[in-house]
Chain A
Amino acid sequence: MRRALAAFILVTCITLTNGCWGWGHTEISDLSIVVGIGVDLADDQSGEVECTLQVANSAALVSSQLGGRNEETPYYTISGHGRNVWEALYSIHPQISNRLFYGHTRLYIIGESAARQGVAPYIDGLLRFRDTRANVYLVVAQGQAKQILTGDLPPDNVSSLALSDLFSIQGYSTTLLPVTLNEFYYQLNNRAQTGQFAPAIVAESVTAGGALNSSESATGIRISGLAVFDKDGKMVDYFGEKETRGLMWVLDRVRDQYLTVTLPNQPDQTISLHMVKSKSRITIDLEDNEMPGIEIAVAAKGDLLEFFGVNSEEIPPDFYNNLENAASTTIKQEMLASIKKAQELNVDVFGLGEEFRRLHYPEWEGHWKDRWNEIFPQVNVEISVDTAIRHRGQITTPPGGKGVQ
């Protein structure tokens, strides 16, 4: 009798709590999986939040992955309004028969108008919620987040998944500087008044016969650079390609970077380098009591990728020294452009203040902390770049030179 009773209690407990039925159970077929969340300020001047969800259409997604072309789109987007993010999200819930599941969200898009108002209020809901993760990528839409979620980026037709893959596969090359929600949150909460940045995405119409197979879709999306934010999380401006790369060199977030330079004495020949490694080091010089001096030293390493021009003989050894210098100059120019722009906007996206605080904490607390914002635009930044060429590639002489007679 006692054993039977114990068995009964155990079985009851197990069935109640494991999700077969009872509390908190959800069947996967009852779930609609959200892959991207976009937030915008509503158009109607009400100051309300408009949330757009990109929800995976799992049936279509699977069949397109198996190779079949499907008439159905692999996702659908749906929008709702509210006074805050979660009110807007909950206004979407009754529009869908399934339960929305946020655990697989890969991308969080903030519309430009919302970003300019200040991002801080928009990320609380996501950080607080138990399903969403802080490792989602955060991007800013140049325009409206909604447009990005309906745009296309081949080969994945679901823009959130495509962008998230783009960041995780190709991140830190060209102008791709991925920013996770955690990273943004860290910079926003920084004690050293650091500015923040997030990739800026632009949706634009693609002409017929472009890269997209489907003639129906009219918008493509691409990454245009970075959106930069001041210390309070309000977006102030965009960084273009050059400034973005400059920032990447300073922050040491370079992997697989490409660099095209011309030598001063041969302006018609362009030479490309594949930068495989870079290391930056920031030192702070406190000799001047009024204005600290900041030195950024970058050591980059790369391979010769292309020599675009005609050269009748084997490339001479001193050419590589010139090339190294030219590459250093180009990197330096990119960094300078980035720093100049940041100083004009007065946003310390490089975390120079933070580096200052880390390296010289007593001086920072005693003297510079309150003045950093005022002096940052005038701070003198010295840059030294040292590029080293590692390989010249698989051929030694450019083709077409007919050899040395």
Chain B
Amino acid sequence: MELGKISARQLGFLMTVVPLATVLFFMPQLSSRAVEQDAWITALIATIWGILVVLIIIALANRFPGMTLIEYLPLIVGKPVGKLLGALYTFWFVFIGSLILRQFGMFLTSAIMPYVPVEVFTVTLLTLVFYAVRSGLEVWSRVNELLLPLLVVALIVCLLLPYPHMDLRRILPMATHTYGQLISSSLVSGSWRGEIFIASMFLPALSDSRLICRNLIIAVLVVGIILTATELVTVAVFGGLNTGQMEFPILALVRMIDLFHVFSRFEVLIILIWMFGSFIKICCFVYCSTLAAAQVTGCGDFQRLLLPVSILMLALSNNAFGNMIDIVNHLGNLWPGLGLLSFELAIPMIVFLVALSRNRKRG
């Protein structure tokens, strides 16, 4: 299946946007709710999880060059279990994709356009995503190359301009929570960071895979730095306790900006980050779901499966989640179990250990 060729840098850019797009919006609340002013420490710990995930998928990919996760699973653990895992992964991609789609719509209706039905946003975005993914991997990877620098600049503006309201002493007392609390909270953060494992679906599409390990680790570090900065800034402005009590601390942060009564109302930057980020992120998940579905069924026709997968994702997004409270609770409680502790880290790690012990390689 020839889907297009991307460079290692483009993949690095993609894998920066994928965690960044949503982690910024939910993690400050979730981590501050758990460990208050120590939220930024969990972001640092989560970076280690992210690097671990990268090392495992790269090690697996080195044993099976030119194959995706779904393709080499049956080669490692045997066809029945491998296909079952492949089907579970396919469902995971669709499910998480639908969750992201729902988040996208819910954020816009909660804070910006309360009168518009959430379906308007999800359907519009998914239509765009469908069009992009159908046009090929190269196309939206390049769009992302254009958008990511914009997104980072917007983010830096959002984080720096509330400086009159910052009081860095609010970060004290430092590290008052136990290792257990910090690590369990970092699992939530880490589940977003571990999303980088979907790079294993893109590796065969690389034109040159030499620098990929380095690029993915840089992507993890960049997301880690940005997330740490965001959590430091939100805590410095709102305090640990209040950050944990806000629905979207980063939106509240931007709403605090009012320099000389001139530079104010920067919410548009947040919407920009949210729109661009979600668009690319859902592109990735639609791509991965479709590719996984095609490879697990062996039907091999990516373009034909794209529409049903997209529609399934849309239907799930409208039905699997209720209100914002559901989504945030889901992210806080279920997400680590569904992310880092199973699909993102635990399963690839077990699979890798099996591959090591059975010495399975391509060829």
Q: Do A and B come from one complex?
A: yes
Residues of chain B contacted by A358 (CB below 8 angstroms): 169, 172-173
Q: State whether B256 touches A135 (Cβ < 8 A).
A: yes
A23 to B242, CA, bound (A): 32
Q: State whether A17 touches B120 (Cβ < 8 A).
A: yes
Partner of A189, one of B172, B245, B255, B258: B245
A186 to B237, CA, bound (A): 9
A189 to B258, CA, bound (A): 24
Residues of chain B contacted by A180 (CB below 8 angstroms): 165
Residues of chain A contacted by B210 (CB below 8 angstroms): none
Partner of A23, one of B120, B169, B237, B238: B120
A365 to B173, CA, bound (A): 11
- In the complex, chain A residues 132-186 whose Cβ is within 8 Å of any chain B Cβ: 133-135, 168, 180, 182, 185-186
A5 to B108, CA, bound (A): 27
How many residues belonging to A are interface residues under a CB distance threshold of 8 Å? 23
Residues of chain A contacted by B117 (CB below 8 angstroms): 23
Q: State whether A190 touches B241 (Cβ < 8 A).
A: yes
A180 to B255, CA, bound (A): 13
A13 to B120, CA, bound (A): 9
The residue in B113, B170, B173, B238 that gathers the most chain A C-beta atoms within 10 A of its C-beta is B173
Q: State whether A361 touches B261 (Cβ < 8 A).
A: no
Contact flag A17-B258 (CB < 8 Å), given A190-B241, A357-B173: no
Q: State whether B173 touches A24 (Cβ < 8 A).
A: no
Contact flag A190-B239 (CB < 8 Å), given A16-B120, A358-B173, A361-B176: yes
Contact flag A24-B113 (CB < 8 Å), given A13-B124, A189-B239, A190-B239: yes
Instruction: Tell whether A402 is near chain B: CB-to-CB under 8 Å.
Output: no
Residues of chain B contacted by A191 (CB below 8 angstroms): 241
Residue of A nearest to B170 (CB): A186
Instruction: Tell whether A2 is near chain B: CB-to-CB under 8 Å.
Output: no
Residue of A nearest to B108 (CB): A17
Q: State whether A130 touches B165 (Cβ < 8 A).
A: no
Instruction: Tell whether B263 is near chain A: CB-to-CB under 8 Å.
Output: no
Q: State whether B241 touches A189 (Cβ < 8 A).
A: yes
Contact flag A134-B124 (CB < 8 Å), given A24-B113, A189-B239: no
Q: State whether A182 touches B256 (Cβ < 8 A).
A: yes
Residues of chain A contacted by B242 (CB below 8 angstroms): 182, 185-186, 189
Residues of chain A contacted by B176 (CB below 8 angstroms): 361, 365
In the complex, what's the smallest C-beta–C-beta distance from B36 to chain A, in angstroms? 8
Residues of chain A contacted by B179 (CB below 8 angstroms): none
In the complex, what's the smallest C-beta–C-beta distance from A123 to chain B, in angstroms? 12
Residue of A nearest to B173 (CB): A361
Contact flag A182-B245 (CB < 8 Å), given A134-B256, A361-B173: no
Q: State whether B114 touches A182 (Cβ < 8 A).
A: no
Instruction: Tell whether B252 is near chain A: CB-to-CB under 8 Å.
Output: yes
A280 to B239, CA, bound (A): 21
Instruction: Tell whether B333 is near chain A: CB-to-CB under 8 Å.
Output: no
Contact flag A130-B110 (CB < 8 Å), given A13-B124, A24-B116, A182-B165: yes
Residues of chain A contacted by B245 (CB below 8 angstroms): 189
Ranked nearest first, the 3 interchain pairs of A and B with the lowest CB-CB distance are: A361-B173, A24-B115, A358-B172
A16-B120, A17-B124, A358-B169 given. 8 additional CB < 8 A pairs? A23-B115, A23-B117, A23-B120, A134-B252, A168-B261, A357-B173, A358-B173, A365-B176
25 interchain pairs, CB-CB under 8 A: A13-B124, A17-B116, A17-B120, A17-B124, A23-B113, A23-B117, A133-B255, A133-B256, A133-B258, A135-B165, A168-B261, A180-B165, A182-B165, A182-B237, A185-B238, A186-B170, A189-B239, A189-B241, A189-B242, A189-B245, A357-B173, A358-B173, A359-B173, A361-B173, A361-B176
